[in-house]
């Protein structure tokens, strides 16, 4: 069984310590990094390029709308990318899902990064849209689906239940490190996750406290990262 490491991380627009963010990502040695709250305002391209360079990764897809990006190992082949704006709601942030089909060490995977809304109704609607988009891309390219994101809701909520009716909650199935992702300073809620679809087996997942120092986690963002080690089913 081949394996892959996927990191989901809300970096708070790099408004804190960008070098600490890079250290956190580098310490996790991930093959794929799904970023939420990537910079999207002034000099957003410069900030994103600098982060990828500091982490020795390359951008598979990095679109401004929604503040999302997917970074991958330099040797990864990016087969296909998509970016979709989700249903708009007046007065709320524009939400999106960014996706890439990536080939690594002979294995293909359909990866998505998203950041769901704070409002319950839009959050549920967007979760359904994300699932539909990801599953369609995965089927079209014969690749198992994986979703990493800031759900803005804890396990058991409506959006979380919708996602886990179709995908597996990696940290719930194969706990590793610590579960709570928010806030980085006082982690009391699990609102960030990696979800895997058919063809993928979660081997271990959670906040990688053995790899990332508390000092860097707190300095980097208000969220802690979620690292998942995933196996490809034969």
pLDDT digits (tens, 9 = 90+) for 113-154: 999 999 999 999 999 999 999 999 999 999 999 999 999 999
- The verdict on pTM exceeding 0.85 is yes
73 in the Ramachandran plot: left (φ > 0), alpha (ψ -120 to 50) or beta? beta
Question: 178 vs 41, which has greater pLDDT?
Answer: 178
pLDDT digits (tens, 9 = 90+) for 67-76: 999 999 999 9
Q: Of 127, 60, 126, give the one whose Cα is nearest residue 99.
A: 60
Question: Residue 110's pLDDT band (boundaries 50, 70, 90)?
Answer: very high
> What's the burial of 215, exposed, middle or buried (CB within 10 Å: 0-12/13-18/19+)?
exposed
Question: Domains in the chain, ordered, with CATH?
Answer: 3-232 (3.60.10.10)
66-88 mean pLDDT: 97
Question: Rounded to whole angstroms, how far apart are CA atoms 54 and 47?
Answer: 11
13-38 mean pLDDT: 95
| Percent of the chain with pLDDT strictly greater than 90 | 93
Average pLDDT score, the chain: 96
Question: Rounded to whole angstroms, how far apart are CA atoms 37 and 183?
Answer: 15
- For the cut 70, the answer to whether the pLDDT of residue 1 exceeds it is no
């Amino acid at each position: 069984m081949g394996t892959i490491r996927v990191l989901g991380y809300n970096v708070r627009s790099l408004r804190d310590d960008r070098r600490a963010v890079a250290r956190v990502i580098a310490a996790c040695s991930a093959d794929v990094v799904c970023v939420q709250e990537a910079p999207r305002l002034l000099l957003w391209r410069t900030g994103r390029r600098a982060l990828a360079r500091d982490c020795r990764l390359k951008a598979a897809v990095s679109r401004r709308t929604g503040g999302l990006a997917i970074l991958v190992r330099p040797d990864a082949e990016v087969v296909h990318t998509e970016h979709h704006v989700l249903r708009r709601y007046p007065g709320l942030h524009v939400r999106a899902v960014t996706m890439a089909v990536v080939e690594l060490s002979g294995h293909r995977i359909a990866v998505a990064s998203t950041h769901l809304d704070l409002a319950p109704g839009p959050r549920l609607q967007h979760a359904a849209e994300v699932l539909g988009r990801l599953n369609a891309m995965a089927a079209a390219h014969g690749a198992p689906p994986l979703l990493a994101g800031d759900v803005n809701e804890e396990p058991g909520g409506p959006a979380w239940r919708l996602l886990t009716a179709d995908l597996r909650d990696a940290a719930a199935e194969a706990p590793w490190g610590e579960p709570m992702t928010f806030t980085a300073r006082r982690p009391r809620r699990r609102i960030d996750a990696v979800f895997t679809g058919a063809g993928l087996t979660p081997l271990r997942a959670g906040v990688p406290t053995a790899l990332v120092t508390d000092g860097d986690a707190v300095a980097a963002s208000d969220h802690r990262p979620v690292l998942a080690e995933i196996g490809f089913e034969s």
